[in-house]
A and B are shown apart, each in its own frame.
Chain A
Amino acid sequence: MSVNPGRRRFLGGAAAAGVAASSMNMDILKAESLSNELKKNGKRVLLLWLAGGASQLETWDPKPGRLTGGPYQAIQTSLPGVQISELMPKMATRLHNTALIRSLNTQIGDHGGGARLMHLGRRDEPNLKYPDMGSVLARELGRPDLQVPDYVSFYTATEGRGNAVGQPGFLGARYAPMFLTTDNKPAHLSRLEDITDLDHKERADLRQLLSNRFAKGRVSESLGSHNVAYGRVRGLMSSEKLFDLSDEPQKIKDRYGNSLFAQQAMVARRLVEAGTPFVKVARAWWDSHGQNFETHLELVTELDHVMSTLLDDLEERGLLEDTLVITLAEFGRTPTINASLGRDHFARAWSASLTGCGIKGGTVFGATDEDGQHVKDNEIGAAELFATIYKAVGIDPHHEYFVGSRPIPLVDPGTHAIDEVLA
């Protein structure tokens, strides 16, 4: 459906207007044929973002007995021959739905650049604003008939928050995240007390009437989006209860525990259950330049508990086969332990995990050398990881958007999904 704008003069009026007005329109036929079927399947993605950079050695890729290994041991998992850090005993018994990727080499070792890369799946380009993973998934997996937000992002800590890219880029504000920073409930989702629900609804109806009157005989993409945005307000407000854990059974709350991360994971589960296609929960701050082992004792223990509880909860509800749970950070940490008993930024050989939807559970992809300094087998970058994530939820990673006449594939050209970890 690509149309060269240079040819626009040869097209009929209305068709050409659409072409000129919106690059996304040009893509619509293809996008719909692609996603109609998939959207029915209700696939979702839940990203646990380990902000600041979690250590692969204290999580998915331990090096016990080596100088780089640190004080913690490795434990046997439910998979023959596969060990992870002893800080993750609960995940060790639950790897049957999970694929570990131990061979990321993403090269960018600063928080800002690394986080951008691991959100966008590619490097920035000056004159083109790429959408992040969440916006792509909101667009590809979102269902207009569902009255839930399609991209929710929790980031309560202040450290590194500015790096947590949530940008719809050329997809447009329709796919921007609800970005929650101070509360577990989005701003402006609750009706103010001094207006009744009926008046709130009917004044919106009056607004719609006035706007429709104005829109008559006028055509504009932006104008359309204005009324679409207001049209979503009441629906989104009705999803307010999803952010409120008070009606969650005590038994479930007890399982998750009281930590903020656990509470947000619980809200995330409620959201994906209601159909939200992408939720990100950020846990900060893993940046352990000093006292790496104390930091990781606390954070990995919590991650192990929250992640395993979340996976159990999703599985018991039959949601795991349609929900992909990812753990990811901007980079890993240096195998070499520094003088402050810390580990520094390390993007050359680190790990991520993929669990659930579309994933061949119980697999380990790639390997690092015995000290964890380099990738030994199956090195991949951000683009391959993103291609794998997209493919796992049924999206063709080579699908193209058009910006103007320029085709923009979902992932950088020439990269492919890791079929070894896909079901």
Chain B
Amino acid sequence: MKKLSLLIAVLMIPSLIHAQELLPPDTSLQDAVDHYIDAEQATGNIKSAEQVDDYVLIRRTMLDLVGRIPTIAEVQAYVADEDPEKRVKLVDRLMAQPEFTEQLAYDLNNILAPAGKADLEAYLADALAANKGWDTMFADMIYGNYDEEMPKQAMQFVNLRINDIDNLTNATSALFFGVNISCAKCHDHPLVSEWTQAHFYGMKSFFNRSFSNGDFVAERAYGEIKYATTSGEQLDARLMFLTGSVIEEPEPVVLDDEAKKKEKADFEQLKKDKKPAPAPEFSRRAQLIEIALRENDREYFSKNIVNRMWHRIFGFGLVMPLDQMHPENPPSHPDLIDWLARDTYTNGYNIPRLIRGMVLSNTYSQSSRYDGEKRPAKFWFASASVKPLSPRQYAAALAIAARNPSHWEDENEAESRIRNEVNAHRGWANKFAVPNEEFQVSVDEALLFSNDNAFKDKIRVANDRLAGELAKLETNEALVQRAIQAVYSRLASAEEIEAISAYLEARSDRREDAISQIVWALMTSSELRFNH
């Protein structure tokens, strides 16, 4: 009986909440996050995990904001700081570092560029450094290169896919609007009645007049799409956005053979001169930007960026999968995503603002450990996710952890030393895979760490290595304490001191080897591999 009433409660309450007004726009972002997450948990009688301590919080925040683990000195300073505002100050200090936009550009590139390509990263880093909003970046990437000032890399989103317009259509829909319409190419979507072939070909129509002209993307003023339905009917595609809004457009330009010849020659000349072609008077790509950001149609665009940033910070989207944002797959927190979407478009689609609010919430600072009896499903956000590090984060974590920690102690030198060390280990990032929504660690990675010469070099007993410093410590307890702090950014537990000391004592005849092995075990263990 109790179960039944609970089920009814879960069924009923979300719609009741949804009928209410959203929190006022001047609520702080972090308060809005916590309000909606807590309210939803209350409906399910969900108990959330405990708040983390300073050690976990600084590690988590630094990985998310600047892409690396803290040094022992940074952890100690943060823990000792008695300022009640220290968390906000930490976040603001980190977000002001160049590493913040660098990492964000890297992550956005991993989302937007085809696998393994870094083509958009430089553009994204510049755009973020110039405080461009996501709407402006979107416009640059879809429409950009008619302006000679626009860096060519901005157009790589389109350019890398321009030879396959279906792919370009799908990628744009999935990555900017959170909607995967690829099924609707051949038939109306089987699960989502809202998505028909008309939507797919409507979206494709925004791109079908565009083509690659040398280094640039050019667009003609004519070219229509016809498609066949499953019943064999031939239809003309209309310029239609995902919301079903149709753009009335001027009749396509009709060119006689002479004019076509001239047009072709003009494009060839521009190609030769390495210059962008001017936009046609009516550019379909420009129309896509306009309609996607228009008041009644901006829901997909604004919710997608909210959902993707939420996923980046919390490890799980408000809508999952990320490209299935459709009415048959409602968000776990409809009001929260509505509130955040409104906040983001009224604040110039400012991505750093979104991130800042998220990382300052109590939802963010929950433990990833859940010791309660039954762990709530991920969509309740009742505990933090355990997120695999990105290749660059992992490379940076290894670089910092492997170095003799005294190297970071000089306050004046620390910042540049850290930057140099992390940059020197960028190459390591190529050894690891970029995590996707359902990432698995490959056995190649485990074999690499187990039997690779270059990694062996990182963990050997030498003056500039962690293992070298550990070898100089007098007691096993001090050794374990220092090692755990350097690699895991926290204090060692009694259990760890005991287990690792036992390992050392069993190898008193080869203590240096044993220390190196301990560093190996710490650095390959999951606690370094994941952001928790």
Contacts and interface: CB of A to CB of B under 8 A. Distances in A.
Contact of A230 (B180, B368, B387, B524): B524
B527 A192 contact: no
A9 B17 CA distance: 15
- Shortest beta-carbon contacts, A-B, top 4: A225-B440, A173-B442, A217-B369, A17-B377
Interface in A181-212: 186-192, 194-195, 199-200, 202-204, 206-207, 209-211
B500 interface: yes
Interface of B: 7, 10-11, 14, 46, 164, 166-167, 170-171, 174, 180, 182-183, 191, 316, 320-321, 323-324, 328-330, 332, 368-371, 374-380, 385-388, 433, 435, 438-448, 450-453, 456, 495-496, 499-500, 503, 507, 513-514, 517-518, 520-522, 524-527, 529-530, 532
A227 B443 CA distance: 10
A66 interface: no
Given A6-B330, A188-B450, A223-B526, A404 B379 contact: no
B441 A220 contact: no
Contacts of B378: 17, 20-21
Given A127-B171, A218-B368, A222-B388, A176 B442 contact: yes
A199 B517 contact: yes
B439 A232 contact: no
Given A9-B10, A236-B447, 11 more contacts: A10-B11, A13-B374, A20-B316, A23-B438, A188-B444, A210-B496, A218-B386, A226-B530, A229-B443, A232-B446, A236-B443
Contact of A172 (B440, B451, B524, B527): B440
A176 B320 CA distance: 25
Interface string A360-395: 000000000000000000000000000000000000
Contacts of B499: 206, 209
B191 A405 contact: yes
Nearest to B44: A13
A204 B446 CA distance: 11
Interface in A393-423: 404-406
Given A220-B385, A236-B443, A126 B379 contact: no
A125 B182 contact: yes
A216 interface: yes
Given A5-B324, A210-B525, A225 B513 contact: no
Contacts of B191: 4, 405-406
Contact of B451 (A127, A188, A217, A229): A188
A189 B451 contact: yes
A192 B456 contact: yes
B440 A213 contact: no
Interface in A150-176: 170, 172-174, 176
Interface of A: 4-6, 8-11, 13-17, 20-24, 125-128, 170, 172-174, 176, 178, 186-192, 194-195, 199-200, 202-204, 206-207, 209-211, 213-223, 225-230, 232-233, 236-237, 404-406
Contact of B386 (A23, A24, A202, A223): A223
Contact of A226 (B376, B441, B513): B441
Q: Please indicate which of the listed interface residues A210, A216, A221, A228 has the most CB atoms of chain B within 10 Å of its own CB.
A: A210
Contacts of A178: 444
B441 A222 contact: yes
A304 B8 CA distance: 70
Given A172-B440, A226-B529, A404 B324 contact: yes
B332 A126 contact: no
A126 B171 CA distance: 7
B525 A211 contact: yes
Nearest to B370: A217
A229 B526 contact: no
A372 B386 CA distance: 58
Given A127-B174, A127-B182, A220-B385, A229 B441 contact: yes
B13 to A, nearest CB: 10
Given A8-B377, A218-B368, A223-B526, A200 B450 contact: yes
Given A211-B527, A222-B441, A192 B386 contact: no
B362 to A, nearest CB: 19
Contacts of B385: 220
Given A189-B451, A209-B499, A14 B369 contact: no
9 contacts: A8-B379, A187-B448, A188-B447, A203-B517, A207-B524, A210-B527, A215-B526, A233-B447, A236-B447
Contacts of A220: 385-386, 530
A206 B503 contact: yes
Given A24-B438, A204-B450, A6 B443 contact: no
A207 B487 CA distance: 13
B170 A172 contact: no
Given A5-B320, A126-B171, A232-B446, A206 B441 contact: no
A24 B439 CA distance: 12
Contacts of B324: 5, 404-405
Given A173-B433, A188-B452, A227-B526, A221 B377 contact: no
A151 to B, nearest CB: 10
